[in-house]
Amino acid sequence: MAGGDHVSTAQLGAGQVLARLGRFVLTMFRPHIYATYGVLWTLALEGSAVLLSGTAPAWAPSWGTAVRVTSVVLALLFMRMLDEQKDLDYDRVYNPDRPLVTGAISATELRGAMLFIAILVAGLNATVSVESVLLVLAGLGYGLLLVVLERWSARIRDSLIWNLLVTYPVQLVLSGYVYGSLVSTGVVTADWPVLPLLMLFACVFLHFEFARKTMWRGEPGARLYSSVLGPVRSAGVAIALAAAAGVLALMLFRPWHVAGGAAIAAWAPCLMPALAALGGWSFLVRRRPSWPLAPAMCFVLGMFVSLVAQAAAR
């Protein structure tokens, strides 16, 4: 995973290293996208878990919430830094402008930042519970395990579907961290709704994953689900995932049992798949060259925001 360091890290001062890391974050981990996603994902999952558990009169953010939000965002940054190193050989061919390829950042600098992130999230979660520390480190550890698995297996490394099956559980482990942290502090009790709730969040993420890699025609060598499944089947999977998220929201939150002003917030998550359907219509009926990203992103953000609003309203 070593990158071609155009400038040796040993030749740089601490300020220069921090500046290089800062530019990497702004370029490869755009905060307005990734941080927003991490914050909303954590708040939506925590609020929904509290709502379904019924152990608290109402959900409200706490110190534990701040720790979990910060930990998830930093874990996503950790994974982005890891991916930059893991995908170096592919990027040398298909993405020659990536920071690690050009020498704008070095593998040593990225690994140092990853170590700092691991220590920081462990320290933060130590203020919440021991279980929280173990769970968040398990998420980071799974990311490191993926490097070993991809080196060991050409199928996992080269097959898009196999790679998804192996890499996606990182998201599940981080969702499990959020839920497990809530259980460990007595905010919620472990119960059956956790399974369909985690499935709902999985469907939301996977809809976006399939949508952004679905095109009628892709560039040679591009890693697209539409190249493996065909454009229509890939689009069908994206639509089915969004529909499943809506059905799970209906099953979990039963909005028809909610009265008053909270009813609007309760129905909102169930209606979000309409945004995904708009993307499917644009791709399949209007024959857009690729699945439009705007409806897919709006579906993800709309689902998370509506789940947060529902938890706050009830």
CATH at residue 235: 1.20.120
How far apart CA 267 and CA 302 sit, in angstroms, is 12
Q: Are residues 73 and 179 in the same domain?
A: yes
The per-residue pLDDT for range 187-199, each reduced to its tens digit, is 999 888 999 999 9
Q: Are residues 111 and 203 in the same domain?
A: no
Q: Are residues 221 and 279 in the same domain?
A: yes
Q: Are residues 37 and 184 in the same domain?
A: yes
Could you tell me if residue 2 is inside a domain?
no
By CB atoms closer than 10 A (0-12, 13-18, 19+), residue 15 is: exposed
The tally of domains found in the chain comes to: 2
Q: What share of the chain is helix, strand, coil (3-state, %, to 5)?
A: 75, 0, 25
Could you tell me if residue 92 is inside a domain?
yes
Q: Are residues 196 and 95 in the same domain?
A: no
Asked whether residue 4 carries a pLDDT value surpassing 60, the answer given is no
What is the pTM (predicted TM-score) of this model?
A: 0.91
Could you tell me if residue 1 is inside a domain?
no
| Percent of the chain whose predicted confidence (pLDDT) is above 70 | 95
Asked whether residue 87 carries a pLDDT value surpassing 90, the answer given is no
Q: Are residues 121 and 160 in the same domain?
A: yes
Q: Are residues 66 and 170 in the same domain?
A: yes
**pLDDT at residue number 274:** 96
The per-residue pLDDT for range 18-67, each reduced to its tens digit, is 999 999 999 999 999 999 999 999 999 999 999 998 766 678 899 999 99
Q: Are residues 146 and 264 in the same domain?
A: no
Query: What's the mean pLDDT in 150-159?
Result: 87
Q: Are residues 171 and 263 in the same domain?
A: no
Q: Are residues 99 and 242 in the same domain?
A: no
Cβ atoms within 10 Å of 291's Cβ, excluding its own: 26
CA 60 vs CA 63, 241, 247, 254: distances in Å: 10, 29, 26, 21
The per-residue pLDDT for range 166-220, each reduced to its tens digit, is 999 999 999 999 999 999 999 999 888 999 999 999 999 999 999 999 999 987 7
Handedness of CA 145, 148, 151, 156 (dihedral sign): negative
Could you tell me if residue 269 is inside a domain?
yes
**DSSP structure class, residue 217:** S
The per-residue pLDDT for range 100-144, each reduced to its tens digit, is 989 899 999 999 999 999 999 999 999 999 999 999 999 999 999
How far apart CA 238 and CA 234 sit, in angstroms, is 6
∠ CA 276-33-163, nearest 5°, is 70
The per-residue pLDDT for range 234-264, each reduced to its tens digit, is 999 999 999 999 999 999 999 998 888 788 8
Q: Are residues 102 and 215 in the same domain?
A: no
Handedness of CA 29, 31, 37, 38 (dihedral sign): positive
How far apart CA 290 and CA 284 sit, in angstroms, is 10
| Percent of the chain whose predicted confidence (pLDDT) is above 90 | 75
Last residue of a domain, one of 129, 156, 189: 189
Range of the domain at 83: 13-189
Last residue of a domain, one of 172, 189, 206: 189
Lowest mean pLDDT among 8-12, 159-163, 224-228, 298-302: 8-12
Last residue of a domain, one of 189, 204, 238: 189
Q: Are residues 91 and 197 in the same domain?
A: no
